[in-house]
Structure 1
């Protein structure tokens, strides 16, 4: 192996270790997507865009919903928790997270973090960054996924890679993670019980925690509102 190739391998391993122990947390999917897109633009290298194939489920043909609404453009616009976006932009060397179970025996579960090694038309090759299978190589295919969101009055199927960029992740998605460095971005306060506690408890030490809090006027602040069930205080 040449000295240049060895240096490249060393740098890649250093980046892998850096990403493995760090994450940015935010309260909503919109905030997470904003951060991930910003970070992707800072990473050198060629960008690969993957577009999904979206189709309405046949079981909804007689549901009373006008079938003419189910155009590709209409379905492409949907962004739901639990399924990837219609368009995913990725680069080699960036972190991603599985958003569906692929192979639980191999540790490829919802929430598994990985770093991309190779991008091809049909397969993403990545290295697992957390769990019992840390360091192993994973081959991720496209999958046909159906949203589980009950607020959508019809069902559709999206064929796409079951991954999302993972420079940042939602606080809820970070449960079970143990990180040495956490950046907590709060452009608005948390909105569910225990969410702030989950975010703060992901980091191993106080020294590894950084917070950016934005108040209602858009000014950086050093306080934020917590959300807990009122019953927590009943016996205090």
Structure 2
């Protein structure tokens, strides 16, 4: 759902679009086994793999678009996983972006492709993907939004939150009541005016 929202907003965003494709391969050193045959997995199959915390094979970007870092690039300069930036310029091999969240707002940095080898037990091998460690982030999941401080937030709840404190996390990303807009939908995708706030009363049982 987050990816779908990002794609729709990007389509209406002004400016020329640039496409960046990753270079995907199998890390045979990390995937060695008696029955493993890398020839069974085509480039199209590898390109189609999508995993949490890993950039997609195909990135579409425009100048001015907000992006999020997927990994710790430079902790001293606070370029860490979840940092939000805005694209300043797009090159063939380098992307210039400025930080728009946290304590380092306005800092400009150059991003290049890096090789990522994510650990995913669902795959019989380790994927090696060389791509810019970013994703478009007009929208993000509630969990990914933790630590963000924004002036305006749009909360899209197609389904109710399902864990304790998750609704609080989403609502507390914004500084004022006027800065948040919420869209709530029922099972028939019709607008409604209330949602559940999941609270486990048991955790308060031993409080004095």
TM-score > 0.5 by shorter chain: yes
Q: Which of the residues 8, 11, 15 maps onto 1:45?
A: 15
Is residue 101–residue 110 contact of structure 1 (8 Å, CA) maintained in 2? Answer: yes
The answer as to 2:154 corresponding to 1:183 is yes
Is residue 102–residue 148 contact of structure 2 (8 Å, CA) maintained in 1? Answer: no
Is residue 61–residue 67 contact of structure 1 (8 Å, CA) maintained in 2? Answer: no
41-50 vs 66-75, which deviates more?
66-75
Unaligned segments of structure 2, at least 5 residues: none
Cα-Cα RMSD: 1.8
How far apart are residue 176 of structure 1 and its match?
0.6
TM-score normalised by the chain length of structure 1 = 0.81
Q: Classify 1:41/1:156 alpha carbon distance in 2 versus 1 (closer, same or farther; 3 Å).
A: same
The answer as to 2:1 corresponding to 1:35 is no
Residue matched to 1:120 = 91
1:122-157 alpha-carbon deviations (Å, 9 max, x no partner): 110011112232111110010111223333342111
TM-score normalised by the chain length of structure 2 = 0.91
Q: Which of the residues 160, 174, 188 maps onto 1:217?
A: 188
CA distance in 2: counterparts of 1:230 and 1:151, whole angstroms = 36
Q: Classify 1:63/1:184 alpha carbon distance in 2 versus 1 (closer, same or farther; 3 Å).
A: farther
CA distance in 1: counterparts of 2:64 and 2:193, whole angstroms = 34
Is residue 54–residue 72 contact of structure 1 (8 Å, CA) maintained in 2? Answer: yes
How far apart are residue 228 of structure 1 and its match?
4.0
User: Residues 125-164 of structure 1: matches in 2 within 5 Å?
Assistant: 125-164=96-135
The answer as to 2:166 corresponding to 1:195 is yes
Is residue 82–residue 148 contact of structure 1 (8 Å, CA) maintained in 2? Answer: no
Is residue 81–residue 149 contact of structure 1 (8 Å, CA) maintained in 2? Answer: no
Q: Which has the higher contact order (CA 8 A, sep 6+)?
A: 1
Residue matched to 1:90 = 61
Unaligned segments of structure 1, at least 5 residues: 1-30
- Tell me the matched-pair count: 206
How far apart are residue 229 of structure 1 and its match?
4.0
CA distance in 2: counterparts of 1:125 and 1:167, whole angstroms = 18
CA distance in 1: counterparts of 2:9 and 2:148, whole angstroms = 21
Residue matched to 2:177 = 206
